[in-house]
A and B are shown apart, each in its own frame.
Chain A
Amino acid sequence: MNSAPEGLRIEKVHVWRGERHVLKGLSLEVQPRELLHVSGPNGTGKTTLLRVASGLLRPEQGTVSWMGRSISSSPGQYQAVMAYCAHEPALKNDLTALENLRFAVGLKRRVTLQELHTVLDCTGVGSIADLPTRVLSAGQRRRVALARVLAMRATLWLLDEPYSNLDASGTELISGLLQAHVEGGGAAVVVAHHALTLDCNVRRLELNS
């Protein structure tokens, strides 16, 4: 389709991990107001795909572009509009949830502590914002990681299994956040094992070996 170059475009990407050919000429496109649900068995390269999309991994062949420009040409600009959440929540155990957010988000844009408190309340961990992350449960850490994504106010969300370790209310929360994000003009690529029940524009990409 020859529409204007909006959104994330991955073209004919090849990635080898050692001798394994993980991604074999993969191409995809995610426009704003779209959510791409990536699923597939273990080891088929879902995490690798997200890492390539985030720019952490440079593919041996192929291009990744955002809004028509290659992400490696101006990584700073791309990172300013993108938020990546890995399978690990990526939080410092010795810092509180609030401090974690402050140091992570504060590098992308100026935030006030009040704002961060509000975001933590949104994801249901406002009451434990001042506890060291070490004492939080896996589900609470996942919520803090999502609060970080929310606070970054990014256009593109790249989430690797955001639903893991969450209870029913947490699952509902994430679906709500994703829906609000996509309806508000954002784009998202979500790796998840189960089916997503969302009211917005969801496309599926099934990876197989």
Chain B
Amino acid sequence: MWTWFYKLASPPYVYGVAGAFVPWLLGSAVLALGYGLIAGLAIAPPDYQQGDAFRMIYVHVPSAILSLTVYTVMAAASAVALIWRIKVGHAVAAASAPIGASFTLAALVTGSLWGRPMWGTYWAWDPRLTSELILLFLYVGVMSLRSAFEDPARGDRAAALLAIVGVVNVPIVHFSVVWWNSLHQGATVVKLGAPSMPGSMLWPLLAMWLGFMCFYGAVLCLRLQGELLNRERQAVWVREAIKS
């Protein structure tokens, strides 16, 4: 069982696997996003309370979920890299960070645009928004720390530690609507029990979520390939890979 784990420690193997996954992930992303956007924007009925404004959910919610997921992936990869000294983990973390930061920014911006018709304000200092903003700062901190070191290996390890320390924020963002009286609405999908949303609205949302995940996967694989080529540029396999 552990053989595949140790294979994943080999940069050329991961490079190959990532390359193989990209077309599948991109294809799935296009399909899922296509269905999600059409069904969500055109087919799903307008909301009883919010009218058509609710359709922001199809971009906002997947972005927000992904912002947390990507941070968790980054923290997990960092932990693997630090504990088992597997350098590919650092490459995964470095590749994921800007993607996660973009998702966080997208979640904040789409949320802000949605907040205006729904709450009457572009911003409120409620627990979920604040902790999501802190998540953005954590992403920026991790990226800045990595690039501040002259020795890239040390920069990787420092950024990895910071990513792991900051993972405390992820459950806070998720559970903030449960723990505190929040302006932000509670969980409708990712919770125990059945989702509290009708099927015609729910399926496009799930499709968008899947589409965003596949999109993240595809972009991660592409960026990971780039990171591995850059990090291992002295190695022989890189020269072979570039030729082909």
**A→B interface (CB under 8 Å):** 17-19
The 3 closest A-B pairs by CB, nearest first: A18-B151, A19-B234, A18-B150
**Residues of B near any A CB (own CB < 8 A):** 150-151, 234
CA distance A18 to B150 in the complex (A): 8
Residues of A close to B150: CB separation below 8 A: 18
Per DSSP, chain A at the interface is: loop
Give Cα distance in the complex from A192 to B157, angstroms.
Answer: 34
Sample of 4 A–B contacts (CB below 8 Å): A17-B151, A18-B150, A18-B151, A19-B234
Write out the residue numbers on chain A whose beta carbons fall within 8 Å of the beta carbon of B151: 17-18
Nearest A-chain residue to B154, judged by Cβ: A18
CA distance A200 to B160 in the complex (A): 49
How far is the CB of B38 from the nearest CB of chain A, in Å?
51
B234 / chain A contacts, CB cutoff of 8 Å: 19
Expressed in whole angstroms, the Cα–Cα distance for A17 and B150 within the complex equals 11
A136 to chain B, nearest CB (A): 32
- The residues of B that contact A19 with a CB separation of less than 8 Å are 234
Give A133 to B100 CA distance when docked, in angstroms. Answer: 50
Closest Cβ of chain B to A55, distance in Å, is 17
A17 to chain B: which residues have CB within 8 Å? 151
CA distance A17 to B152 in the complex (A): 11
Nearest-Cβ distance from residue B111 to partner chain A, whole angstroms: 43
Complex Cα spacing A155 to B150, Å: 36
Closest CB-CB distance, B107 to chain A, in whole Å?
38
Q: How far is the CA of A6 from the CA of B234 in the complex (A)?
A: 39
**Which residue on A lies nearest to B234, using beta carbons?**
A19
Which residue of chain B has the shortest Cβ distance to A21 in the bound complex?
Answer: B234
- Bound state CA distance, A19 and B150, in angstroms? 11
Report chain B residues within 8 Å CB of A18.
150-151
Measured CB to CB, the nearest residue on chain A to B233 is A19
A198 to B234, CA, bound (A): 45
How far, in angstroms, from A118 to B113 measured CA to CA in the complex? 75
Docked Cα-Cα span, A76 to B151, in Å, equals: 27
Residue of A nearest to B150 (CB): A18
